[in-house]
Structure 1
């Protein structure tokens, strides 16, 4: 829903300001409250209130102090992204499969049987526009409450970044969308039209450039941990340019973070698995992440862990497609000549990141009670709780390990979800350099080689640049590296869309482990067939939500094919 200022006033609950000063505590204590107004969905707010709620919204009661402006900005952060989008994105790609209707009906989307009324398709539009509206309110009103010029510039830069992020998401999923860079009147909201996607993307790039100038390299006060920094604007701009195949601009952006420390000091965490743990948050690899903890948690891990660990249905599970893309320890793909891949021992001598991301037959994991469990997924195994024969277990025979929080209380994790990390910057740089025909041993050494060394590769064949590879083969290596390094971080769906491989990979059956029995349908190699998906040309952009069209016919015509 694209909200007007009048609609906000009619809510009679603008922001319930937080009175605590610590930014992270503000983010953590936010909870969601539902307010019914023209079926607009949810309004997010904070628990601690220092403004009275009355029957009429007194606009003059707000924007009087610096603390109120900062609290309004904090509310913008809370509405930036959702954990179910973050994890559900994996099942929109060929990385994972979702059994059932969770994560906003992503299984229905991946099966091609969706429309403008389907869960996430309908909700994500209004979610981002509500976030945009919060940012616009800050940008138009912060001057009334903040007299410190430097602080005011920083507040506006943070709001601009978040608004740009929302518009980027909308343009990615829906194509042409209204570009809303001001608080709308009721009349404007009712007749607004869609802006060409290219214009929206250009606006996003311009917003991030403006924000970069006024964002700090680092925050001196520890209570501001988690706020947007200069490097976040640079890295997000690189990602936008990457998705648009603006290769030279990608290189320019990445070099602001790779070849200099002027915009922050970033490095790869020595141990790959430590990036995604509670005790290693705010490490030197993270450029921007979603803040969780205390009262703000997510329970998604209950749906991607083995049933014996998570205690619920294992609905979000890795695919054989992802598993097969992890190379051998010598750097070769499992089907390449000389890979030494052994079908009888398929999980041995693989990319070290594989076992740190995926749980397979024979994996061991400590549950929340501290008990070490061996996870058995092959049919006929005893116990059978996690085998593919069990209807509440993974239908692919695999489970995700990354982002498992063994310290969680009742499976509600407070681990921050990483939106941008330095490894992604290195991967964007490598891809852009290759597409420009500039990949060489020097670029390889400070991108792919660094990532593989950190992962645990030690064989020269995996670490050194192979000058004999064709351009297409090198592209495959770089893309495979990106997929496996960033698996289960919600990004692969965007990659296969921009690579234009999505029609091929999503029209392939979802496959699972290789079995020798005949109790399940299998392909010619013995891998079980889990489900089929459908991706048609019209699916590159989602339809405009039906409710939005019902309220505003100016959003028509819909995207092609819808």
Structure 2
């Protein structure tokens, strides 16, 4: 998070280093930060405790040289939602979630689970301590709303990736409180929706914050739309589409949000520490480069995605992930998003001082992802791996597309409102006025329910490319495994057979690995092995 938010957590910073990997993370004792009887009294203390809940979103905190990147700093933003028909890792020789060749002891997975439950416990301690505070009722209501929302959001991430997970609504009181059974996913979704709905009634508008790092009323409404969309698909409960539609309409009718007319500017703003509250509704905030201050919370995804460049003072980028040829082909002629999201160039010898050199127009498979470009970072000097680029959790374009999808499901066919929503996104993509109809770009109103859904499915892939949604979308639509297996003949016949590392491509054999490895068990992550060993009430997901 940025300094304006992070400094509020000064009183907590030193005591909140990550727990040992051998610890049961459902047993996170309140002593991990400050004893409740001595804290949670003033508004400043409550805000500091709340920042301790927020900070787990990023979790690339530097404490005397140690780092973690198990949530949105890199794992939840890049590895967890890969590989799909959208993107894959450039190299698939090392066990990783992105190549579907890992097990329940895999470090990033274990740490992600642990950090999510540690955040939930922090939220519970804060919620249980609020009534003892001398802060005003208005302050306590606001903090209660944020803490409730965050507790719900962390549970939402867990249920999305692990399915049935323990629902933890009270803080851990004793070291022996370790045997906690899994809660059915439907019950977890119900509680998530309940908590977020309560929070929505307590939260401020985004303009009151002046930043997109703290959850706002309309951002909560947008996430509630997403939660209901996921519940509709994963639980096969079509009634949730009506609720999703209602929450999206609240955002759309608020008058607070709209599309930035320049698609690329959204991501330039995230690199340059600029808030743009109309479209960028909620972000994971990162600050600094992790050098020189323990209060810096810098992210790693910005140096992981991008055109590979080994020159540190030119913005080092690993170029770990590349776009598939399927993703490249989704974009129509004139769609400006393609050449922003997917690189049009590479650096010879991975040296930014020698380029850029344009890709041949016929080279469409395995290009680098280029949505966040480190040259647009304003923080100097560059650090090799860490930077201040924010990660988007919710954009207004996503709300429009979710509304169009939910509206289509509720009405059994596209309506004028649903068509208008998707067409705003499409017009912006082609550099056209967002409010002006276009005969060449607009989706027609005469499509069937199925045809309109297919348009939305592809539009989400184009608009939200590499923002961490494709895998979860495929899962909620029930087409994850078939989509993944369909990639095998495509790669086998369309992708170049030999590697060309200079261009970012490791060859057909490497590219095929995740699609050959993936199986039905990969619809959910395995419960971490350390949790199973310490929690006798825990059971493993099928196939693991």
TM-score bracket for this pair, using the shorter chain length? 0.7 to 0.9
**Greater helix share, 1 or 2?**
2
Query: How much does 1:514 deviate?
Result: 9.2
- Is 1:91 matched up with 2:82? yes
Pair 498,517 (structure 1): closer, same or farther in 2 beyond 3 Å: closer
Pair 361,90 (structure 1): closer, same or farther in 2 beyond 3 Å: farther
Match of 1:354 among 335, 338, 351: 338
Moved over 6 A (4+): 27-33, 54-57, 510-518
1:239·1:428 contact (CA, 8 Å) conserved in 2? yes
Match of 2:520 among 530, 537, 541: 537
The TM-score, its normalising length taken from structure 1, stands at 0.77
The correspondence of residues 243-282 of structure 1 with structure 2, limited to 5 A, is: 243-245=230-232, 246-261=240-255, 265-277=256-268, 278-279=271-272, 280-282=274-276
Query: How much does 1:528 deviate?
Result: 4.9
Pair 299,516 (structure 1): closer, same or farther in 2 beyond 3 Å: closer
Match of 2:72 among 82, 85, 97: 82
SS of equivalent to 1:156 = helix
The correspondence of residues 410-559 of structure 1 with structure 2, limited to 5 A, is: 410=383, 412-437=386-411, 439-440=413-414, 442-456=416-430, 460-507=438-485, 508-509=487-488, 519=498, 528=508, 530-532=511-513, 533=515, 534-556=517-539, 558-559=540-541
SS of equivalent to 1:91 = coil
Mean CA deviation greater in 532-541 or 227-236: 532-541
Give 1:338's aligned residue.
Answer: none
CA distance in 1, matches of 2:477, 2:393: 20
Per-residue deviation, residues 359-416 of structure 1 (Å, max 9, x unmatched) = 135899xx977x862244799xxxxxxx99xxxxxxx530111122314423533121
Query: Which sections of structure 2, spanning at least 5 residues, go unmatched?
Result: 26-30, 58-70, 233-239, 289-295, 501-506
Between Structure 1 and Structure 2, how many residues are aligned? Answer: 483
CA distance in 1, matches of 2:231, 2:32: 48
Pair 433,361 (structure 1): closer, same or farther in 2 beyond 3 Å: same
The correspondence of residues 120-199 of structure 1 with structure 2, limited to 5 A, is: 120-186=108-174, 189-199=177-187
Pair 220,541 (structure 1): closer, same or farther in 2 beyond 3 Å: closer
Match of 1:200 among 147, 171, 188: 188
Match of 1:317 among 318, 322, 335: 322
Give 2:204's aligned residue.
Answer: 216
The correspondence of residues 370-409 of structure 1 with structure 2, limited to 5 A, is: 373-376=356-359, 396-408=365-377, 409=382
Match of 2:42 among 65, 70, 91: 65
1:23·1:225 contact (CA, 8 Å) conserved in 2? no
Higher relative contact order (CA 8 A, sep 6+): 2
Match of 1:283 among 273, 277, 288: 277
**Greater strand share, 1 or 2?**
1
The TM-score, its normalising length taken from structure 2, stands at 0.79
Give 2:66's aligned residue.
Answer: none
CA distance in 1, matches of 2:170, 2:405: 36
Query: How much does 1:208 deviate?
Result: 0.5
Query: Which sections of structure 1, spanning at least 5 residues, go unmatched?
Result: 1-17, 43-53, 329-348, 380-386, 389-395, 522-526
1:317·1:398 contact (CA, 8 Å) conserved in 2? yes
